[in-house]
Amino acid sequence: MSSNLAKWAKGLTTTIIVLVSLYFFYKFREDFYLISTVSPAIFLALSLLVILSITLNGIKLNHITQSFNIKLRLKEWIGLAFISSCLNGFVYKSGSMLTSNYLKRKHGLPYTSFIGAMGADHLMMILINALVGLSASIYVLISLPEIFPLTGLFLVLLIAFSYFIRKPHAFSRKENYLLDALCRAAQTLNDILQNKHLFQKLFVNNIIVVLVMGLRLFIACKTIGLDFKLLHCYLFTTVSAFIRLIPILQSDIGSRELAVGFLSETLGSGFTQGVLATAVDRIIEMAWALMGVTIFKNLLFDARQDAKLDNV
């Protein structure tokens, strides 16, 4: 009963947020027309950054599978990255589930190994985003004391997750699925830390991903004539990364835009401007991800076909 109630709560919350976002998109739809007046150079720069961010996730997947002695072909790790980006943009974990299914069927990688590795990677991303967010907020705090709570939140998250990763067994609770999964991911991250070569590759890759995401939003602002500061964009993208940690949401459609909108209002840039900038970034990302899906659709069909054969 409680499980069904939780599903209903997630669905209802996500639906409400999406509807509220759609209302704002419709209300300020004329601002999106500014994209048609943007210079080709800016649009090209944004497109290249979007493609780069997706490709970096593919490179990360390749690094992880190589640690299990699996050598993916170029079209596999790039294709899976574009497909995952597209599916995860609609529903959390859907792209990751398809990727794990593909790797299991095609390369024999156990689900638990892939999930553990990706969980460890997510924890690493949390730490990097918390560190980048804390650094940016400290600098902004000098001129804008109003964001002190956000600075404190980044600091608490950084300390808490650092301690959690160092001592995951102290928090392990078999009866709590979410906490137990986090503990297993933390243990896997500890194992990755012992593999210095793999850790260095993932760490550098994730640092670049975080830096590209902030720069990507900065360029997205330019497409609709917004003049956001680069440091503010890094605050927006690091906060957006933590939206995915909210367990009651099934998708970050709308929630990411609203979160950036409220933070943008706090920083003095305006609620509407924050929502529009994030929406533009999402639209361009989804457009390129969908294009990638059409190119690498055979991987998607292969994964589905294998799943059907298993059920026969």
CB distance 124 to 189 below 8 Å: yes
Position 2 pLDDT exceeds 60: no
Tell me what pLDDT residue 311 has. 46
Position 48 pLDDT exceeds 90: yes
Structural domain span for residue 67: 2-311
Tell me what pLDDT residue 244 has. 72
CA–centroid distance for 159 within its chain = 21
- Residue 125: name the closest of 51, 56, 79 by CA: 56
Terminal CA-CA length for the chain: 31
Query: How many of the other CB atoms lie within 10 Å of CB of 263?
Result: 19
pLDDT in tens, 166-204: 766 655 555 555 566 666 666 666 677 677 788 888 899
Domain count, the chain: 1
pLDDT band, residue 1 (cuts 50/70/90): very low
pLDDT in tens, 261-286: 888 888 888 888 888 888 888 888 98
Position 305 pLDDT exceeds 70: no
CB distance 237 to 210 below 8 Å: yes
Provide the 8-state DSSP code for 224. Answer: T
Mean predicted lDDT score pLDDT of the chain:
80
pLDDT in tens, 218-266: 999 888 788 888 999 999 999 888 877 665 556 667 778 888 888 888 8
Query: How many of the other CB atoms lie within 10 Å of CB of 71?
Result: 10
